[in-house]
A and B are shown apart, each in its own frame.
Chain A
């Protein structure tokens, strides 16, 4: 079965971003079975649970017209994580979220993919602001949000059950993003 085209393919200097396909499961499992990568996302998960996340993300492309992209490293062709717009039911706002396999950290990939995702969300989804839901202990993600130009908007915001830990809501407006990223 050839994959359905559920959304756009974005290209950055070192990455391809496209909607998930079935063969991304190895990459998704590599990401979500790692306890360090999943420290603030509920802990390491089995391959069966990773598949459910992959299917949920894929379904959101159909139901809402957007969801996170699978992130492909051009150099290796590997799926190294998922980054992009995300707003499941009861979510506190229009998020651009990120998660990369542990071995892909520290290369600037997350900023590269999140920047392309934010551009796409503002240009094509009509969003007027973007948020990032970040655990108060998650220093790596806080640094990334800062590098994107976001700041803390609200602290200690409850997430829909069964998520038990409140998060800080980081974010910025479309105008702020565009002013900072003028060509």
Chain B
């Protein structure tokens, strides 16, 4: 997934070593914090197609529900489907009062997913660790999410 140019453009890619480190950090966050992004499996094929879910590493600007899919699985509504389920789980089980999505200002596809989830642009130019790249913060409150369902 992350060695594909379209995917890596806004979230970074790199060597198998770097990608393994990120994968391992995601697994480690489940142990350290009790949540992290889920691996997303396509039922019809049984294949791993990406990751989506709650994510708030140290220094992050808020409780995020993030989504990233392998390039062949874009355009099927999978990101909205997975993120919706993850947002429900975060509000029901993690006690979050709001969710955010950290999005590159150029990343139209991800902005469209955020809009379809009912989120709106809250802040621009927010530095994101670890490299402090400025990003947009999209999001919504638990009340807004639950009122729309």
Which residue of A59, A161, A162 is within 8 Å of B28 (Cβ)? Answer: A59
State A89–B16 Cα separation when bound (angstroms): 7
Given A63-B27, A162-B14, 9 new contacts (CB under 8 A)? A3-B31, A21-B32, A22-B33, A45-B130, A52-B130, A58-B28, A91-B17, A160-B18, A161-B14
Supposing A22-B33, A89-B20 touch, asked if A59 and B25 sit within 8 A by C-beta, the answer is yes
Which residue of B14, B20, B58, B130 is within 8 Å of A88 (Cβ)? Answer: B20
Q: Could you tell me the distance in whole angstroms from the C-beta of A46 to the nearest C-beta in chain B?
A: 7
Chain A positions 1-20 with a Cβ under 8 Å from a chain B Cβ: 1, 3-4, 6, 20
Q: Could you tell me the distance in whole angstroms from the C-beta of B53 to the nearest C-beta in chain A?
A: 15
Q: Which residues of A contact B (CB under 8 A)?
A: 1, 3-4, 6, 20-22, 25, 45-52, 54-63, 88-91, 160-163
State A14–B22 Cα separation when bound (angstroms): 33
B24 within 8 A of A: yes
**Chain A neighbourhood of B16, CB < 8 A:** 89-90, 160
B21 within 8 A of A: yes
State A167–B29 Cα separation when bound (angstroms): 30
**Could you list some 18 contacts between A and B, CB below 8 A?**
A6-B31, A22-B32, A51-B57, A52-B25, A52-B130, A55-B28, A58-B27, A58-B29, A59-B26, A59-B30, A61-B28, A62-B28, A89-B19, A90-B20, A161-B14, A161-B15, A162-B14, A162-B18
Q: Could you tell me the distance in whole angstroms from the C-beta of B112 to the nearest C-beta in chain A?
A: 28
* Chain B contact patch, size range: 20 to 34
Q: Which 5 residue pairs across A and B have the least CB separation, nearest first? A: A59-B28, A51-B58, A58-B28, A89-B20, A59-B27
